[in-house]
């Protein structure tokens, strides 16, 4: 009997995935510099990771990691991010994963959320992160291509963002074998845009995983329409810094876009700041925050090539998993009419399941908290 009991115990232990053997990351910022032999890694492979201090009391462990992804030019690259694990024992099948796509932080490497998980570009979502951890979900937060790691971040270039959001789920499961195959994607602003692209890419990019749903808060869309509307915005605003990021990000992928032929004499000397400082500083009065969007473009500049490329970044996509979209009606960053139009476009695609919620008097950042309860119900239903 003792022998039988021992065999049962061994079998039960073997059936429970254990934490993986984690390749140790080099010290300091060297974590963000990929090894030379990236071809030895498969898409979504964990390269290395480092345990860091938990930023959230609901977390049992937080890791900063580097994983292998692919650039739009087909080159193997390293992408960074962080992963947060819940407390307690995982359920049967493992902890489900929420792959979080963060909102705009900037293009400079110092703006990568993994360099400061408690920083301003993730702190506003901390209540939601805490609730998700308490519910028993692991959280994976990509920095996106080129943000923190070598190269330029292709800001609001959808396929680039989407690859990072999906690939970190694979890497997270290699980091800790107690994570489940089932996952959802959620994101805000730039991250809402990234979340929709990631959900469209997911079935082919990671067929072994099980995407259950996607939640997009104030997702960026219709960038070409906003580009054409720039002359209408005659007062300095935060849209100018965002426009500068868009121009730099698109030009990094599409060499036919020459910023020097588009930016005005006032805007052109400020463009180098995009590679050096984060969004808050870009919005300062001494930077792009002091220029009206109408004054960003050089007189006579041909914006049509840029606008055609921006139109290709619209997240009007075929998405196999259920979609939840939330938008505040007082949002002056992602304008509500653009999300209204995106909702109509997504619904018109055969097979898409879209639920669209609007929140009166809620602005851009506040939408994450305003939609918290309905999002939690959505995640709970999708991750059973």
Convert the pLDDT of each residue in 3-15 to its tens digit: 433 333 333 333 3
Whether the per-residue pLDDT at 230 is higher than 60: the answer is: yes
pLDDT reported for residue 21: 81
Whether the per-residue pLDDT at 254 is higher than 90: the answer is: yes
Convert the pLDDT of each residue in 336-359 to its tens digit: 999 999 999 999 999 999 999 999
Whether the per-residue pLDDT at 162 is higher than 50: the answer is: yes
| CB 220 within 8 Å of CB 277 | no
Whether the per-residue pLDDT at 43 is higher than 80: the answer is: yes
pLDDT reported for residue 384: 83
Share above pLDDT 70 across residues of the chain, in percent, rounded to a whole number: 95
Mean pLDDT within 251-265: 96
- Tokens 């509500």 sit on residue: 336
Q: What confidence category does residue 121 fall into, taking pLDDT thresholds of 50, 70 and 90?
A: confident
Average pLDDT of the chain, as a whole number: 93
Cα 305-308-312 angle, rounded to 5 deg? 140
Q: What confidence category does residue 119 fall into, taking pLDDT thresholds of 50, 70 and 90?
A: confident
- Among the ranges given (10-24, 97-111, 267-281), the one the predictor scored with the smallest mean pLDDT: 10-24
pTM, rounded to two decimals: 0.94
pLDDT reported for residue 19: 52
Q: What confidence category does residue 20 fall into, taking pLDDT thresholds of 50, 70 and 90?
A: low
Q: Give the gyration radius of the chain's Cα atoms.
A: 21
DSSP notation for 132-199: HHHTT-EEEEE--TTSSSSS---TT-HHHHHHHHHHHHHHHHHH-TTEEEEEEEEEETHHHHHHHHHH
pLDDT reported for residue 122: 85
Convert the pLDDT of each residue in 259-301 to its tens digit: 999 999 999 999 999 999 999 999 999 999 999 999 999 999 9
**Whole-angstrom Cα distance, residue 95 to residue 240?**
41
Structural tokens at position 311: 């139109």
Bridge partners, 379 (sequence order): none
Bridge partners, 153 (sequence order): none
Q: What confidence category does residue 370 fall into, taking pLDDT thresholds of 50, 70 and 90?
A: very high
Convert the pLDDT of each residue in 55-95 to its tens digit: 999 999 999 999 999 999 999 999 999 999 999 999 999 99
């Amino acid at each position: 009997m003792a022998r039988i009991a021992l065999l049962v115990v061994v079998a039960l232990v073997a059936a429970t995935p254990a934490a993986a053997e984690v390749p140790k990351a080099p010290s300091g910022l060297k974590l963000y510099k990929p090894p030379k032999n990236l071809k030895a890694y498969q898409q979504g492979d964990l390269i290395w990771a480092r345990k860091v201090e938990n930023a959230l009391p609901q977390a049992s462990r937080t890791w900063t990691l580097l994983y292998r992804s692919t650039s739009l030019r087909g080159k193997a690259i390293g992408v960074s991010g962080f992963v947060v694990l819940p407390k307690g024992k995982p359920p049967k099948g493992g902890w489900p994963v929420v792959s979080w796509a963060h909102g705009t932080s900037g293009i400079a490497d110092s703006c990568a959320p993994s360099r400061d998980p408690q920083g301003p570009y993730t702190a506003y979502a901390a209540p939601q992160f805490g609730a998700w951890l308490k519910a028993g979900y692991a959280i994976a937060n990509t920095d996106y291509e080129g943000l923190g790691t070598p190269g330029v971040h292709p800001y609001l270039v959808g396929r680039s963002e989407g690859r990072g959001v999906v690939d970190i789920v694979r890497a997270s499961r290699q980091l800790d074998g107690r994570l489940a195959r089932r996952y959802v994607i959620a994101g805000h602003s730039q991250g809402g845009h990234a979340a929709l692209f990631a959900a469209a890419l997911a079935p082919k990019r990671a067929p072994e995983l099980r995407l259950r749903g996607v939640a997009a808060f104030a997702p960026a869309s219709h960038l070409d329409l906003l580009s054409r509307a720039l002359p209408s915005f005659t007062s300095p605003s935060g849209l100018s810094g965002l426009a500068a990021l868009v121009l730099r990000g698109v030009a990094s992928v599409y060499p036919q876009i020459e910023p020097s032929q588009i930016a005005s004499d006032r805007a052109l000397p400020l463009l180098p700041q995009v590679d050096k400082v984060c969004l808050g500083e870009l919005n300062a009065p001494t930077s792009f925050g002091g220029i009206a969007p109408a004054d960003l473009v050089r007189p006579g500049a041909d914006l049509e090539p840029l606008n055609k490329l921006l139109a290709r970044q619209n997240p009007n996509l075929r998405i196999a998993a259920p979609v939840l979209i939330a938008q505040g009606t007082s949002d002056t960053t992602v304008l509500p009419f653009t999300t209204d139009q995106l909702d109509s476009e997504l619904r018109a695609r055969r097979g898409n399941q879209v639920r669209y919620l609007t929140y009166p008097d809620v602005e851009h950042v506040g939408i994450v908290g305003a939609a918290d309860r309905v999002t939690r119900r959505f995640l709970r239903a999708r991750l059973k």
